[in-house]
């Protein structure tokens, strides 16, 4: 059966504004006005206001009373917290997969695709493929609640990483580190390998972030 | 400065309905009508509808088209997923606190209060104190994003546990298991202890759950 229900206007508005922030069309601390959003995305007053409320609750924008709404910049604390949280949760997920001897064939497929198409990927596509690898770890737990935790961090990862992160040099490293995790999952050291990988990724993020200022 | 802003009607409505579900005033699969909610909580049509939308997204209620909105029952899958998720995340948090040698004085204070007032607590209060212990573990990481993960599971824990869980027999066990975790945090075995504690708690939950049917 085809899904022919149109998305509610509010969801469309949230998605448009969030994508514009992730892709850097709306810049840090840029003011988001009804006029701008109407011109750029054809979104009218009511869904705009509803969307802004939600985006503020989710930490994408901030409002200064009587002044306006702005794109909330990512801080060093955000980067620290997201990587620390991922390190805590993902190392434990890997340990869980190791202990239960859960099949990681699907993870290997993600890696095969990443390696085969490494040269063709745009930066954005490579980053998405990197995310697909980590997402698969959560998915292999088969625990919907854990998977929803991943969704909470993935948008911010996209937003920090989108522009400059996946330079060709880093691609080979990422592939090697991912393969170390896959091997580690088979011999019981994957939890250590993923902590190493996340530490290296965080370092790249920070150096990119420092250069953006 | 006193906070004199009244809560928005929608938030009040969400809170009233959620508390009624947690405390069993609204029962599993019970229909929630505008009339009922107006009579019970004095909530009018618009905030009611907005609240229901949000509660449905959060998994508290379900809607049957052209029929009505009902209290979503907790399933065995919910219990499995929540405990598995907590086991994965909390064991890793304990490992993190151990490795960084973070002070657990505040955790000991929670335990002292739990022990001192054990006899005075109502079931509901004892359960809240139990939650305060686990919440403190997340809080000691000082990572806002991890703390928000806790908030996502705590409501469901309250809802399952509220009526029958903290019988006096289990109280002594909970206190012993918590003290084992505290000791374990000091000698590096807390991650094992918390897994044991969560497994035992899950067993109690399931036996209660089976008896509720």
Quick check: A51 and A14 in contact, CB under 8 A? yes
Burial of A162 (0-12, 13-18, 19+ CB in 10 A): middle
Domain ranges of chain A: 9-71, 76-212
* pLDDT (average), residues B31-51: 89
Q: Which residue has the higher pLDDT, B73 or B169?
A: B73
* Residue B101 near chain A (CB below 8 Å): no
What is the per-residue pLDDT for B21?
Answer: 87
Statement: residue A93 has pLDDT above 80: yes
Cβ-nearest to B85 among A85, A91, A145 = A145
Chain B residues inside the 8 Å CB shell of A96:
88
Quick check: A25 and A41 in contact, CB under 8 A? no
- The whole-angstrom separation of Cα A36 and Cα A34 is 6
Statement: residue B1 has pLDDT above 50: no
- The whole-angstrom separation of Cα A122 and Cα B130 is 50
What is the per-residue pLDDT for B155?
Answer: 74
The candidate with the shortest Cα–Cα distance to A149, out of B143, B19, B22, B96, is: B143
Q: How far is B24 from chain A (nearest CA, A)?
A: 23
Quick one: fold of B9-71? Answer: Arc Repressor Mutant, subunit A (1.10.10)
* pLDDT (average), residues A183-202: 94
- The whole-angstrom separation of Cα A158 and Cα A140 is 22
Quick check: A112 and B53 in contact, CB under 8 A? no
Chain B residues inside the 8 Å CB shell of A91:
92
Residues A162-190: pLDDT tens digits?
Answer: 655 556 778 889 999 999 999 999 999 99
Residue of chain B whose Cα is closest to the Cα of A143: B81
Fold: same for A9-71 and A76-212: no
What is the per-residue pLDDT for A162?
Answer: 61
Confidence of residue A3 (pLDDT cuts 50, 70, 90): very low
Statement: residue A123 has pLDDT above 60: yes
Q: How far is B38 from chain A (nearest CA, A)?
A: 25
Quick check: A157 and A135 in contact, CB under 8 A? no
Q: Which residue has the higher pLDDT, A162 or B211?
A: B211
With respect to CATH, is domain A76-212 assigned 3.40.47.10? no
The candidate with the shortest Cα–Cα distance to B174, out of B151, B139, B204, is: B204
Residue of chain A whose Cα is closest to the Cα of B95: A88
Q: Do A144 and B89 touch (CB under 8 A)?
A: no
What is the per-residue pLDDT for A138?
Answer: 96
The candidate with the shortest Cα–Cα distance to A90, out of A133, A34, A28, A27, is: A133
* Residue B85 near chain A (CB below 8 Å): yes
Q: Do A92 and B96 touch (CB under 8 A)?
A: no
- ipTM for this prediction: 0.77
- The whole-angstrom separation of Cα A108 and Cα A106 is 5
Q: Which residue has the higher pLDDT, A8 or B65?
A: B65
Residues A29-83: pLDDT tens digits?
Answer: 999 999 988 998 888 888 899 899 888 877 889 999 999 999 998 888 888 998 9
Calculate the alpha carbon distances from A130 to A35, A124, B19 in Å.
Answer: 36, 10, 41
Interacting residues of B116 by C-beta distance below 8 A, sequence separation 6+: none
């Amino acid at each position: 059966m085809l899904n022919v229900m149109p998305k509610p206007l509010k969801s469309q508005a949230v998605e448009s504004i969030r994508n514009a922030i992730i892709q850097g069309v709306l810049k840090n601390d840029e003011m988001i006005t009804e006029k701008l959003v109407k011109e750029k995305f054809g979104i009218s007053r009511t869904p705009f206001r509803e969307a802004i409320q939600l985006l503020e609750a989710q930490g994408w924008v901030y409002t200064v009373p009587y002044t306006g709404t702005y794109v909330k910049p990512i801080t060093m604390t955000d980067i620290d917290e997201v990587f620390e949280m991922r390190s805590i949760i993902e190392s434990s997920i890997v340990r869980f997969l190791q202990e239960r001897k859960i099949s990681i064939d699907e993870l290997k497929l993600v890696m095969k695709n990443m390696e085969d198409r490494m040269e063709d990927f745009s930066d954005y596509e490579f980053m998405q493929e990197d995310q697909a690898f980590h997402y698969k770890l959560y998915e292999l737990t088969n625990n919907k609640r854990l998977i929803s935790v991943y969704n909470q961090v993935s948008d911010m990862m996209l937003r920090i990483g989108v522009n400059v992160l996946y330079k060709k040099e880093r691609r080979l490293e990422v592939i090697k580190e991912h393969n170390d995790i896959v091997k580690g999952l088979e011999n019981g050291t994957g939890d250590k390998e993923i902590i190493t990988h996340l530490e290296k990724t965080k370092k790249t993020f920070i150096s990119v972030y420092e250069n953006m200022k």
